[in-house]
A and B are shown apart, each in its own frame.
Chain A
Amino acid sequence: MAKKKDYKNDFLHQRFDATETDYDQRGYHLEVVLDVNQVRKFAQTAYDLGFYIVFVAGLHVRPNEGHDKGNSGLVVVYQFARYDQLYRIKARVSVPNTLEIPSISDIYQGADWHERETRDLYGVVFDGHPNMKPLLLSEEDPDFHPLLKEEKKLKSLDEISWPSEAPEVVKGEAEAETGR
């Protein structure tokens, strides 16, 4: 690993909300919070910079009541990394109530299967995907999404974020849960 480059500024220049993170603690270097209409631009930027796609995954949290109305509680997480040096990026985007977010499968063809899997497990529909059919789960029951959590088990995004981002109060709440 001769050359080491920090890609934070490349993403900040494109006006993405990028924060550097502690690699030893989290296993990735950069966290990017995306808006729905930024997803494709972000993927294109990552592709132009030479990142490869690691995975696309879903996450089910309690929808925000207050300031962030109109999100469904579903979050899509993207991870990208590099072949030539150690640099991992995690990006997340909150899925709106329509459950539709733009597909990146024409930029990263590898996202095709990951997006179909996310549709299977969470019901997120990737707009512009050429073949949004069930992949892992059965075609007979396309509306069954096993990774959606029950209402009482849902936690808000703040509760499952690192303490530096979330207020301290949350910790006590989570502690009480461990009784079971």
Chain B
Amino acid sequence: MLESEYQEQNRFFLNMGPQHPSTHGVLLIVLEMEGEYVLDPQPVLGFIHRMHEKMGESRPCQGFMPNTARMDYVCALPYNHGYVSLIERKAGIEVPKRAEYIRVITSELNRVASHLLWLGAYLLDLGAFTPILYGFDDREHILDILERITGSRLTYCYYRFGGVYKDVDDKFIETTRAFIKRMRKRYVIYEKLVTKNIIFIKRAENIGIVSPDMALRYGMTGPNLRGSGIAYDVRKNEPYSVYPEFDFEIPVGEQGDCLDRYMVRVQEIEQSLRIIEQALDRLPDGPVRSKVKKNIKLTSGDCNFAVEAARGELSYYLVGDGTSTPYRLKVRVPSYSNLSCLPELGRGILLPDLVSILGSFDLVIPEMDR
């Protein structure tokens, strides 16, 4: 038998998903395999495509608010934040300081919740069952805190143009402080359970290395980019809201493997807690919502607003035409660009490593499919 024939015989296609647990949602990846090696992974998107952008341009801009949370249901508040800030920039709406502080506190809480969920889910992909129970336990505290204030546990619609829907009370501040204290104690457990676990390190170290040039060509952002050593964070690079008033660092990795992406996210939890702590200390008094006209006119012209969601840079691009309905609303979501490097990154690796890479990317499929 010729060698080429032998190779031909060993090649086959494998469908990973759309119901595979480690694709974290309805994502299909068609893998061309040779034995246990992946030759060409091609993601197939669109299983839960809902055409949010069309909905955005077929109703007055207020009506799109609930949609924002349904794109990334794991970290919805930054999506709220980006959209209200976009309309505020376009229509020139002033936001009271207290409202901006509340936005930052709740957004950062949501980011911590998202990272905790990711931590558990990633380790579940790698075969460790316990961390997700710890992660969900901590995350539950955040959801309880946010539920009291926002009225929902997952798909928040809490921010309004010109402020937030409801003021926070003393109990919110108290429970948030208690959570920060608790979370800092939990680090020790995570450190012992996961970070220094030799099985985990073997599955993550030197796997799926993303070089800075590759990140640039694919437009990667967020922790996936910072793992490659580029300290790019929209909160620092393009300061919005009241982020410039807080002292926090941008954790970066060294070589851009799965372990670096893991370490970046774990350290980001601490940085988010620092921001929340400072914001609670300095929370100003005053109104939480400024008076805004019911019929917001979006003047003609285009406008862009970027925020840092848990997975990277989220950009809203709006084209106004003088009516209250956007003429065009483009949502640039981070996971979409982050995953697009998979065909290049996943060439010639082992199948279990592909699972590790997918997990380390922290994908949210409804966000990609929109």
- Residues on A lying within 8 angstroms of B by beta carbon are 1, 24-28, 47, 50-55, 57, 59-60, 77, 79, 81, 83-86, 88, 90, 107-110, 112-113, 121, 134-138, 146-147, 155, 159-163, 166, 170-171, 174-175, 177-178
State whether A174 and B232 are in contact (beta carbons under 8 Å apart), knowing that A52-B216, A136-B369, A163-B301 are contacts in the complex: no
* Minimal beta-carbon separation of B293 from chain A (angstroms): 12
Q: Closest chain B residue to A174 by CB distance?
A: B322
Q: Shortest CB–CB separation between residue A161 and chain B, in angstroms? A: 6
A131 CB, nearest partner CB in chain B, Å: 9
Contacts of A90 in B (CB 8 A): 302, 304
Q: Is B113 positioned at the interface, with any CB of A under 8 Å from its CB?
A: no
* A160 in contact with B327 (CB, 8 Å): yes
- Min CB–CB distance A44 → chain B (angstroms): 12
Known: A86-B237, A113-B340, A178-B322. A54 touches B301 (CB 8 A): no
Q: Are B321 and A159 within 8 A (Cβ)?
A: yes
Residue of A at shortest CB range from B46? Answer: A136
Contact A160 B319 (CB under 8 A): yes
- Whether the Cβ atoms of B216 and A50 lie closer than 8 Å is yes
Bound-complex Cα distance A135 to B46 (A): 7
Q: Tell me, in angstroms, the Cα distance from A162 to B327 when the chains sit together.
A: 13
Tell which of A27, A83, A175 has the most Cβ of chain B within 10 Å.
Answer: A27
- Do A79 and B49 touch across chains, with their CB atoms under 8 A apart? no
CB within 8 Å for A163 and B46 given contacts A54-B219, A57-B317, A108-B219: no
Task: Verify B301–A160 contact, CB threshold 8 A.
Answer: yes
Contact flags (1/0) for B267-286 with A, using CB distance below 8 Å? 00000000000000000000
- B residues sitting closer than 8 Å to A (CB atoms) are 45-46, 49, 51, 53-54, 57, 86, 89, 215-220, 225, 230, 232, 237-238, 295, 297, 299-306, 313, 315, 317, 319-324, 327-328, 330, 332, 336-337, 340-341, 344, 369-370
Give the docked Cα–Cα distance between A10 and B89 (Å).
28
> In the complex the two chains form, is A110's CB within 8 Å of B217's CB?
yes
User: B300, A54: Cβ atoms under 8 Å?
Assistant: no
Residue of A50, A77, A136 ringed by the most chain B CB atoms within 10 A? A136
Please report the C-alpha to C-alpha distance between residue A12 and residue B49 in the assembled complex, in whole angstroms: 40
**A contact residues around B305 at 8 Å (CB):** 27
Quote the shortest CB–CB distance from B91 to chain A (angstroms). 11
Chain A residue numbers with a CB within 8 Å of B323 are: 174, 177-178
Cβ B304 vs Cβ A166 within 8 A: no
Please name all residues of chain A whose beta carbon is closer than 8 Å to the beta carbon of B370 when the two chains form the complex: 136
Shortest A78–chain B CB gap in Å is: 11
From B216, B219, B237, B301, A85 is in contact (CB under 8 Å) with B237
Count: A-B pairs, CB below 8 Å: 143
Q: What are the residues of chain B within 8 A of A109 when measuring CB–CB?
A: 217-218, 340-341, 344
Which residues from B are CB-within-8-Å of A146?
Answer: 51, 54
> B45–A174 contact, CB under 8 A?
no
- Alpha-carbon distance A47/B319, docked complex (angstroms): 26
- Would A178 and B336 count as touching, CB distance under 8 A? no
Cα A114 to Cα B88 in complex, Å, equals: 27
- Whether B300 contacts A170 by the Cβ 8 Å rule is yes
A136 to B368, CA, bound (A): 9
CA distance A52 to B313 in the complex (A): 12
22 contacts between A and B (CB under 8 A): A24-B89, A27-B303, A27-B305, A52-B220, A53-B337, A54-B313, A54-B315, A57-B332, A77-B317, A79-B332, A83-B225, A83-B230, A90-B302, A110-B219, A110-B337, A147-B57, A155-B327, A159-B300, A163-B300, A171-B322, A174-B323, A178-B324
Is B51 touching A59 in the complex (CB atoms < 8 A)?
no
- In addition to A27-B303, A60-B328, 18 A-B residue pairs with Cβ atoms within 8 Å of each other are A26-B302, A27-B304, A52-B219, A57-B330, A77-B317, A83-B230, A90-B302, A110-B340, A113-B336, A137-B46, A138-B46, A146-B51, A146-B54, A155-B321, A160-B320, A161-B302, A171-B322, A178-B323
B301, A83: Cβ atoms under 8 Å? no
Q: Which residues of A are found within 8 Å of B297, using beta-carbon distances?
A: 178
- Check A110 against B369 for contact (C-beta < 8 Å): no
A45 to B300, CA, bound (A): 30
Give Cα A59 to B319, complex, Å.
Answer: 9
In angstroms, Cα B303 to Cα A19, docked, is 15
The complex places the Cα of A59 from the Cα of B320 at a distance, in Å, of 12
In the assembled complex, the Cα of A47 lies from the Cα of B213 at a distance in Å of: 10
B53 touches A147 (CB 8 A): yes
The reply to whether B304 and A88 contact each other, CB–CB distance below 8 Å, is yes
Question: Does A79 lie within 8 Å of B304, measured CB to CB?
Answer: yes
CA distance A82 to B220 in the complex (A): 11
In the assembly, what is the distance between CA of A171 and CA of B297, in Å? 12
